[in-house]
Each structure stands twice: as C-alpha cells, then as structure tokens.
Structure 1
Amino acid sequence: MLPQLSIGIFVRSEKIAGSAIELLKGERYALTHIKSAVEFLGFLKQNYHLDCLVFEDNGDLRSLLSKLQERSLFLPAVIFSPQPGEDGWPEVPPSDCFEAAAITAEKRREQSCAFFYHPAEVQLAIGRSSEIAAGIDRAIAQFLKLSTPVPVNDQSARVDATTQLTAQSLLSRQQRRLAEKLRERLGYLGVYYKRNSQIFLRNLSGSEKQKFLEQLKSSYREIVLNYFSQDPAVNNQIDEFVNLAFFADVAVTQIVEIHMELMDEFAKQLKLEGRSEEILLDYRLTLIDAIAHLCEMYRRSIPKEVSQGKM
C-alpha cells in the first residue's frame, strides 16, 4: 500500500473543517482535525512528520504561526482566507472569484506581510474550498522548492545568522523526508537545495562566524560522544550537523579541523586519566561518516540539468 500523506487540519469552523474532511477522505490522506491552539502545538511537537497543515485565517493565526516560526517548525501549508463580503472584504460576483483572490492577496501584502507562515504557503479563498486537494499538492510542490523559510528582507535582518542556518537545516530535513515519501508514492526524483550566500560562513561577521563555529563544534562533539552507543538518535545528530555545515557552505577541510581539535582535547583528557589514546583512532569512522553525508548533500545540491551537462 502506498504511503498516505498526513494532513493536520487546524480549523475552528465546523463547516470549513467538515468540508475539507469530506473532500480529503480516502486512502490517499491520513487526516487529523485539531480544534484548539494548545492541542495543536502539543500534537505538532509529537508528530512533526506531518506532510501538510491546513489553517483558517482568523484573529489568532499570526500569533500561532509565529510560535512555529520561533521554533523553526516549517511544513507545507494551505490557509483558508475569508470570503469576499466577510470581515470587511469587498463583495464581488461569484464569477469574479479569481479577481477576488487577487484583491485578497493584495490586501494581505498591504498589511505588512505577503504571507502568514512562509513564502511557500498556499492561500485559498473559503469559497474555493472544493480545491483543497489541489491546494495541498501545490503547497507541497512549492514547499519542496523553498530555499529559505525567512526571505532576505527587513525581517531576516533582525535574525542572526546561526538562527537562520538552524532554521534552514530543519527545513531541509523536512523537505528531504517529504521528498522520500513522494518518491515512494509518485517516483519523485528529489530536492534541489537552494542556499542563501549571505549566511555562508565566509560571509559572516567575525562574531557571527565564531558563534556558528562553536555551535558546529558542539554538535560534532555530541556525535562523537554518542557514535558507538548504538543510540539511533545519533543518525539525526549527524543529519543536523551536516545540514548546518551545508547551508553555511562549510568546506570539508573545516570539518577535519573541528574533528582534530576535538581529538586533541580528548587526548589531553585521556592522558590526565592515564589512559591510552589509541581509542581515538576509532573515531576516524565518525569523521568519514560526517564527510560522506556532507559530500552527498553537496552532490544533491546540483540541479539535475547541470549534473547531466544541460543548460
């Protein structure tokens, strides 16, 4: 049986929620309807492997989504917007629904932000709720092409580089997980990773560079300490480390340098304890594993057309 797409529906309106559930029921989707913000945040914390979220634009939506942004939790999203004639929106004939959607989008932009959650979200007028399945497909497709959850503008200028890189890392993990599920369902070929050169390691200020390298070294230390523990969580730790390095365009030589610095620290500690340093030789496997994952990320970042020599 093909894997189902997991959809989280956080819509308070029983009418809208009922319509969405009716339209999406079937073997393709696994649906979860959540009514309260507290329940939603708790559920998402335990079920981050949802494939798409469905929201309703109401007075609390921006506050809720800001909490997800603060936690660097990004997922494909479809957001139902008020119909024309409701909440102060202008009345337009049903035949002008596309024009109404354009008016809605323009008014959103005038309200200081073109999106609620991230640039790849899909906003759908409530009157077009019958298009929810197509909206989900479009939201997932746009999400897989999303290069950064925080666009380069005044908003991102207030976010330090390490926070941006962490968000980028978590975004890429979610994109890769979703792409793998779609590969099983649809034969999807993969994700082309786009990066923001402004947060490359070489382009950071001295203090930002130091802060990021400290975080990278701390992350690698955790991998080394847990590598031979048979704890499955170490695979996630390697993913997080590699993603951080990839989106900061860290060179393989920098990874080797971090590894050698840690080995020197551990060697000094072992010497103080009167123990042999030979055990540290085993951790060459850790370095090889991390470099192999990083090289694979760099390989997959090349668009298929380029890798095949096409322009």
Structure 2
Amino acid sequence: MHPQLSIGIFVRSPALAQSLSQVLSGDRYVLSITNSASEFLEFVEQKQQHIDCLVLQDDDSLPPVINQLYEQGTLLPLVIFPKESKNNDSFVVTNAQSNPIQTTVRCTPGEVHYLFHAAEVRLDSSQVSDLEHALEQAITQFLSLSPNCNLPTLLANADKKTEEIHRGSLMKQQYRLSEKLKERLGYLGVYYKRNPQFFFRYLPQNEKSKLIEQLKSDYRDIVLMYFSQDTAINQLIDNLVNEAFFADISVSKIVEIHMDLMDDFAQQLKLEGRSEDILTDYRLTLIDVIAHLGEMYRRSIPREL
C-alpha cells in the first residue's frame, strides 16, 4: 500500500482544481481543496500538524495568505502553480512531455525571489501531470532547507527577533514532518535526503562564518539555561541539533564550540575573582547535545529493507 499524504490546496481556478483532483485521485492522497482564502487559512491552522504539503496558485490573493501563514508560524512544503490564463483549457492533464520542474532552493540574497520559502517547487500550466513527483520533491527539499536561508521578499523588513522565530518554526516543523513521514507513513528515504548544497563544507566562507556564529549563539543560550527549570531548553537543544544535522556539522565542531565558550566563561570568572570549577558541570550540556546529534546521525543511516 502507498502511504497517504495530506495535501492542502488553495487555488482560484476551477479548471486547475478539477485537474488536481484528477491527478491526485486514489487512496494515496487526502485532499482539502478550497478557493476561499479564509477557509484555507482556517484549515491550515486547525490541521497544521497533519498537513504534508500545500499546493497554491500564484495570484493577487496569495501574498496576504502567505503573510497570514507566517503570522501563524506555519512553514510547510509547497508547490506553486501560475495564475490562470485567459485560456480556459490552460490546466489540462496531459501525457505530453513537460518542461523540467522548477525549484527555488537558494540562500544567496538576490538570486531568486520566492513567496513562501526557498524550497518551494513551481510547476507551469502544462505540468499538472507532474504533480505527484513535485509533491515528493517539495517535501524532500523542505526537509533539507537550511535555517540560514533568507526570508522571502514579503518579509524583507522583518526584525531579527521575527527572523529567529521563523527559523525556529522551520526547524521544528522539519523535525515534526520528518518524524511523521518516517514513522506513520513509512517514508524511510525522505528523512535522510539532506541537500549537500547546504553542507557546511560546501558553503561559501561568509556563509560558514554566519552559520558558526549562529551555532555559537544557540549553544550559549543552551548553556545559560541548562540548569534552570525552563522547559524551553529541550526545544533549544532540538533546534541546535537539527541545524547541525542538516548542515552536516561534525561532533568535533560542536566540541570546539563548547570549548571556546568555556574559555570565554573562564576568562570572565577569572576577572571576577571566582572559581572556574563551576564550568565542570557544563560537561553535561556537551554530553546531552552530542548524544542528541549522534542519535540524529545514527538514524540517518537507512535501515536495510
């Protein structure tokens, strides 16, 4: 049996909606199709944890919907179709050879303008029959989307706090989706398809520096909160581990970040005339983070079928 995928669809074109229903008919997909922005947003808010991918149509009503999704803290895999043309037959399922599927996975500012996030997949009006492949591609790319990718043009003026919130939301939903696909749907392969384009060793030097500084900042927050009663510490560790995993960061790099931070703390304690012995306890922090990261890498090895 094929695993079922839950697809949320918001399109204005009746012709496109009919074609999508035709292509995604059968037991593999659970569809929710609407041409109402309010109904679509309500559906996403209520079923966010069950949705595997969104299919949207790019028209004048889409930007406000995208903004609302961000306000809800929603980031999901996405396939986008173009505006409806004046030709009523513009969205017809056909077996004709179509153009290559367009993807927009980019991190460099100015390279690509995208609406929702940098892993969205675009199909043109002649590619409706390619939708099944596009859905799988959108999910795979979303799971390997780097948290350091820039926010879309719609959020270009967002402040740093807003960016951090959305990056945290991205990693949280990547983890939730990957777990669901792997355990409930049996997608043994999707979870492991990290995009080497975003591996630390392949990044430009400025991107490497940016990523390391982000990891250092995140790790510092973990250390400062580790022995508190704040349950948010678990989410901080999950966020750091997800970011390190998808960037293929080595355990030794995490150890290096820990040691650098401990050196900084030791110098501060020395200036204050205090003992450095307290820093010994933070070995537990390092062990905890390494254990989580090691488990991610262990599970990234596909099981024998």
TM-score by length of 2: 0.60
Alignment of 1:1-311 (within 5 A): 8-12=8-12, 35-36=36-37, 40=41, 50-59=51-60, 61=62, 74-79=75-80, 87-89=85-87, 97-99=94-96, 102=98, 121=121, 123=123, 140-146=135-141, 148-149=144-145, 174-189=173-188, 191-197=191-197, 199-201=199-201, 204-205=204-205, 207-273=206-272, 275-304=274-303
Question: Separation in 2 of the partners of 1:75 and 1:13?
Answer: 22
In structure 2, relative to structure 1, the CA distance for the partners of 1:104 and 1:217 (3 Å cut) is: closer
In structure 2, relative to structure 1, the CA distance for the partners of 1:254 and 1:79 (3 Å cut) is: closer
In structure 2, relative to structure 1, the CA distance for the partners of 1:167 and 1:14 (3 Å cut) is: same
In structure 2, relative to structure 1, the CA distance for the partners of 1:212 and 1:204 (3 Å cut) is: same
Question: Separation in 2 of the partners of 1:169 and 1:119?
Answer: 16
Flag the structure with larger Rg: 1
Unaligned runs of 5+ in 1: 107-111, 151-165
Partner residue in 2 for 1:154? none
TM-score by length of 1: 0.59
Q: CA deviation at 1:255?
A: 1.4
Q: Match for 1:194: what amino acid?
A: R
Question: Separation in 1 of the partners of 2:224 and 2:63?
Answer: 40
Report the aligned-residue RMSD: 5.5
Contact 2:192 2:302 in 1 (8 A): yes
Q: Give % identity.
A: 45
Give the 3-state SS of the residue equivalent to 1:53 in structure 2.
strand
Question: Separation in 2 of the partners of 1:139 and 1:293?
Answer: 32
Contact 2:199 2:249 in 1 (8 A): no
Cα deviation, 1:12-58, whole Å, max 9, x if unaligned, reads: 5689779989x99x9x8595968449x959x76x9577432231232
Question: Separation in 1 of the partners of 2:228 and 2:94?
Answer: 58
Q: Match for 1:264: what amino acid?
A: D
Q: Match for 2:196: what amino acid?
A: N
Cα deviation, 1:169-191, whole Å, max 9, x if unaligned, reads: 97665344223223443344351
Q: Match for 1:98: what amino acid?
A: N
Higher helix share: 1
